[in-house]
Structure 1
Amino acid sequence: MFLSVSGLAKSFGENEVLKNIDFDVKKGEVVSIIGPSGSGKTTMLRCFNGLEQPDKGIYQFEDGFSLTFAEKVRKQDILRLSRKSGMVFQSYNLFPHKTALQNVMEGPVIVQRRNKTEARNEAVELLEKVGLQEKIDLYPHQLSGGQQQRVGIARALALKPELLLFDEPTSALDPELIGDVLKVMKDLANENWTMIIVTHEIQFAAEVSDKVLFMDGGYIIEQGNPDEVLKNPKEERTKRFLQRILNPT
């Protein structure tokens, strides 16, 4: 098991955002998280790379690294957690004053202190991988939303993470740009990257996921393979959500 999560909880003041979350991720598995806005999906994702710190819960990784959040967590342990993952954000979060190539090189060179020539060569390869070989010297404002998001994916891959985290990566895109980003993500799934994806793209989740979690009100209401959760959900809340998404009136 790559990662086991148990008893995860997070509040902001009086607002309990995550409540007793338990689930596992296997190596090479794609886990999609679906659910209504405000159900805690993004907060949970941010807890997996150190952007938010849970109030309670235990992470157990297959390499023996574990974190218990009921006690004070050391800064170096949060840093180790953040180094395990690469995050692709909803709003791209690219450096506006850096080219696509420089954005992808930034983490390896500045954070990981890797050789600049090596980092540049890898960045060029990654931009080719996401179909942007002609755009490496362009700045974010010169790229479409879909192209910016693909730079974001290349930037996450450049860190050579064990886990890729996607926070609704297509929700800010125009419909005609979504397909290019989803294709890159499907390719990564086929390469057996371990991925946790927060998404509203139900068809995409059905195609690429090994496991789907449905969240509502800070809880995981239902989890299982795509057929179980998306085609034959047991819980009434899951059924209602899917009905709204798939058959909007």
Structure 2
Amino acid sequence: MYLSIKGLSKSFGELEVLKDIEVNVEKGKVLTIMGPSGSGKTTLLRCLNALEEPSGGVFTFEDGFSLDFDKKVSKQDWLRLRRKSGMVFQSYNLFPHKTALENVTEGPIIVQKREKKQVQEMAERLLAKVGLRDKMHLYPHQLSGGQQQRVGIARALAIEPELMLFDEPTSALDPELIGEVLGVIKELANEGWTMVIVTHEVQFAEQVSDEVLFMDGGYIIEQGPPKQVLKEPKEKRTQQFLQRILNP
């Protein structure tokens, strides 16, 4: 197991967004999180990347690193948590004044202080990997949404994370561009990356996931293999959600 999450909670003032979340992230597997808007999916993902501070609960990693959010967490531990994962956002979040290549090299050179020449070579390899070898010197405004998102994936991979996090990576894309991004994520899954993906793409989730969580109201309502959760859901709330998505 890569990560064990126990009793995770998150509140914004009076509003409790995550309630007693317990889940294991298996090494080399794909965990997909689904559920309606406001169910807590993105907040859960942001807690994994230290973009949100959990209100309570414990993270325990396979290397023995553990964080107890019922106690004060040191700045060093926050940084250590953040360095474990690469995040791909739904709205790309690229630097508009930097080329695709510069967007990918920024983190490793500026934050991780890695050697510029090696980072440059690695970034070129990663952009080739996501099908953008010929676009590396273009700026975000010169790229389609799908191409920008693929730069975002290359950028997340460049920091050499243990865990890849995807927050609805296709929700901002036109329908004809969705396939090119999902294709890259599928390739990463086949390579054995440990991934947590928030998505509404049911067919994709079925193809790529090892486990699916369905969330609603800050709780995990149902979890299990994709065939069970997406094809034969036990819970009425899961059934209603899937029916609405598949038969809009």
Same-fold call, TM cutoff 0.5? yes
Question: What are the within-5 Å matches in structure 2 for residues 132-143 of structure 1?
Answer: 132-143=132-143
Q: Distance in 1 between matches of 2:192 and 2:220?
A: 25
Q: For residue 146 of structure 2, what is the aligned residue in structure 1? A: 146
Matched AA of 2:149: Q
Q: For residue 179 of structure 2, what is the aligned residue in structure 1? A: 179
CA positional deviation for 1:81: 0.3
Q: For residue 70 of structure 1, what is the aligned residue in structure 2? A: 70
- Aligned CA-pair RMSD: 0.4
CA positional deviation for 1:228: 1.1
Q: For residue 239 of structure 2, what is the aligned residue in structure 1? A: 239
Matched AA of 1:125: R
DSSP-derived class of the 2:155 partner: helix
Q: For residue 158 of structure 1, what is the aligned residue in structure 2? A: 158
CA positional deviation for 1:134: 0.5
Matched AA of 1:88: V
DSSP-derived class of the 2:171 partner: coil
Matched AA of 2:180: D
DSSP-derived class of the 1:171 partner: coil
Q: Distance in 2 between matches of 1:16 and 1:203?
A: 31
Matched AA of 1:196: V
Q: For residue 123 of structure 1, what is the aligned residue in structure 2? A: 123
Q: Distance in 2 between matches of 1:187 and 1:232?
A: 27
DSSP-derived class of the 1:28 partner: coil
CA positional deviation for 1:203: 0.4
1:41 matched to 2:14: no
Q: Distance in 2 between matches of 1:60 and 1:146?
A: 35
The percent of aligned pairs where both chains have the same amino acid is 73
Q: Distance in 2 between matches of 1:213 and 1:176?
A: 27
Q: For residue 107 of structure 1, what is the aligned residue in structure 2? A: 107
Q: Distance in 2 between matches of 1:211 and 1:204?
A: 13
Give the TM-score normalised by the residue count of structure 2.
Answer: 1.00
Give the TM-score normalised by the residue count of structure 1.
Answer: 0.99
CA positional deviation for 1:197: 0.2
Q: For residue 24 of structure 2, what is the aligned residue in structure 1? A: 24
Instruction: Give structure 1 stretches of 5+ with no counterpart.
Output: none
CA positional deviation for 1:138: 0.2
- Following TM superposition, the consecutive aligned residue runs of length 4 or more in structure 1 with deviations greater than 6 angstroms are none
Q: Distance in 2 between matches of 1:103 and 1:158?
A: 10
DSSP-derived class of the 1:212 partner: strand
Instruction: Give structure 2 stretches of 5+ with no counterpart.
Output: none
Q: Distance in 2 between matches of 1:47 and 1:79?
A: 13
1:199 matched to 2:199: yes
Matched AA of 1:169: P
DSSP-derived class of the 1:76 partner: helix
Matched AA of 1:107: G
Q: For residue 209 of structure 1, what is the aligned residue in structure 2? A: 209
Q: For residue 57 of structure 1, what is the aligned residue in structure 2? A: 57
CA positional deviation for 1:163: 0.1
DSSP-derived class of the 1:196 partner: strand
CA positional deviation for 1:40: 0.5
Q: Distance in 1 between matches of 2:137 and 2:3?
A: 37
CA positional deviation for 1:247: 1.1
